[in-house]
Amino acid sequence: MSIKDKPPSRTRQIGSILLWITGLFFLFNAFFPNFFNNPVPQVPYSLFISQVEDGQVAKASVGDKEIRYQLTENADQDNAILRTTPIFDLDLPKRLEANGVEFAAPPPSNNFFGNLLGWIIPPIIFVAIWQFFIGRNGGAGGAGGALSFTRSKAKVYVEEESTKITFDNVAGVEEAKTELTEIVEFLKTPQRYTAIGAKIPKGVLLVGPPGTGKTLMAKAVAGEAGVPFFSISGSEFVELFVGAGAARVRDLFEEAKKKAPCIIFIDELDAIGKSRASGGMMGGNDEREQTLNQLLTEMDGFAVGDATVIVLAATNRPEILDPALLRPGRFDRQVLIDRPDLGGRLKILEIYANKVKLSDEVDLKEIATRTPGFAGADLANIVNEAALLAARNYRETVAQADFAEAIERVVAGLEKKGRVLSEKEKTIVAYHEVGHAIVGSLLPGGGKVAKISIVPRGMAALGYTLQMPTEDRFLMDEREMRDQIATLLGGRSAEEIIFGSITTGAANDLQRATDLAERMVTTYGMSKVLGPLAYERGSQGNNFLGDGGMANPRRMVSDDTAKAIDAEVKEIVETAHQQAIAILKDNRELLETISQQILDTEVIEGDNLQELLGQATKPEAIAA
């Protein structure tokens, strides 16, 4: 899709014509200053004085810069005028009077074109300044300039076959495609629905985590329907001046009516659609509240007559939107654009992989299997990172190893070979990461251990243990969550067993373990002491994978309940800690063996790693 160029307005055309005329006047006057005046012969000042003293001058007009006079013999001819340039001569009046010359000051200038330019130039300059400000920020679609506060800033896209986006360009969200196909069919053949009295939804809200393709899906709908597509972000409605946002909403819908049938897409709707009861809007004159009120009004009344305008909007936080915005008659439907499953990830990888040169060994299904929980934007980033790695190494095609490295870059960060660790630190990191790997390999909740590395990556990771789920999971039981906490504490437990002390390297592990234990108690109701109650404000959802965000604040609870929550969280973490220590003590020899080997090679993965971890044994107490 491309931005449609809007022809300049009549006002701008007139202003441009006036500017051209003014410029031509200036140029003509500069090169031909006397074109509009009759040429007057000029004589030396000495000749003029000589003619005065000889009595040949009848009358003279004496000015500061010029003296015009007539000779006695031509006194009856008005056009027989001579001129000269005066010099500083205080005796000139006496000399003229003594010789009988009639003299006076020059009459006021009556140059028609000079006066005309004097009246026209100032308004023209004002028009030029106005044109400058109007055109300074003027964008496609007639978005207006620096002084057009109330004009909509929406960009208007029209389909072009070369860049047209359709449902074929979107994968992994088949359910959402099915929902939106009806919208496309209505835009193509509205009579089929209206003939039996059906009404298509006025608004469709696309909901999902960041990077799942909500904006891409909206463009695909416009591409499939072949209608104009107005795209704008919610933040572009909000301005410093109260009322400007509401005016922009009105202007947007007015423009949309003119191009109906069409689609209006509002990205990040929560920027203006936040609930008015949340305390974020103070008073009736708040700019964002006025913008929201205008949007509600337009969505109630814009579908009048034959104007077919459908509003698509996208947000990552539907729970904070105003209820009036989500009621039937405005946003009638909410379409979930979720993270893709295994089949969806494979299709997404195939779409983006078609744009790069792949070697024959590349197995996209294996890559899709190793990336559970990845959104479409993450997968596109992996393909691009793999292509960059191949180009950096002067290869003509992208290999499977490039994809593996790209996944690690996304998960753990960029490898930092320049960061040199001391031997002591390197040894601690090696035992720490092997502790994670051994505990994780024996407990099913942690996933398959695919790689151990002591090469620093990312912001602060001195080493990492890469665990890859073997399948897509949407639920996790209490036993698996406790195993995951034990795996997180495996590194700290290894330090305690081998060195008899702990370091700061386990800070992130402790934070993640504590957060998971607290969600078990306050969100999932996995505490026998506190029972099946939710102690967190709001909903965290029932998907244990979550979005990695911070937990919501706790509800207002009594001091006794808060102490009970803290005690339960501590009991869960401490139990997992003792479990990790028991496993590592029982496998201390293997811990030493793998740690020494990784100190020599820095990285262990593949069959070698699986063979070593296959020697680990689970203590009888834990196995039972």
CB of 268 closer than 8 Å to CB of 313: no
Nearest to 137 by CA among 153, 124, 125: 153
Instruction: Beginning with the edge strand found earlier in the chain, give each strand of the sheet holding 102-104 in spatial order.
Output: 82-84, 67-71, 57-62, 102-104
Distance CA 406, CA 460 (A): 19
CB of 187 closer than 8 Å to CB of 229: no
Nearest to 209 by CA among 471, 553, 554, 543: 543
The backbone torsions φ and ψ at residue 274, rounded to the nearest 5 degrees and listed phi first, read: -65, 145
Number of H helices, E strands in the chain: 23, 14
Selecting among 408, 433, 495, 568, the annotated active-site residue is 433
Distance CA 19, CA 33 (A): 20
Residue 248 C-beta-side C-alpha neighbours within 13 Å? 31
- Report CA-CA distances (Å) from 580 to 29, 161, 442, 480, 493: 94, 59, 10, 14, 6
Check residue 42 and report its DSSP letter: B
| 3 state DSSP class of 216 | helix
Is residue 605 annotated as a catalytic residue, yes or no?
Answer: no
Distance CA 491, CA 505 (A): 9
Nearest to 217 by CA among 176, 160, 266: 176
Burial environment of residue 206 by CB neighbours within 10 A (0 to 12, 13 to 18, 19 or more): buried
Distance CA 299, CA 331 (A): 9
User: Count of residues for the chain?
Assistant: 624
Nearest to 605 by CA among 451, 403, 407: 451
Active site residues: 433
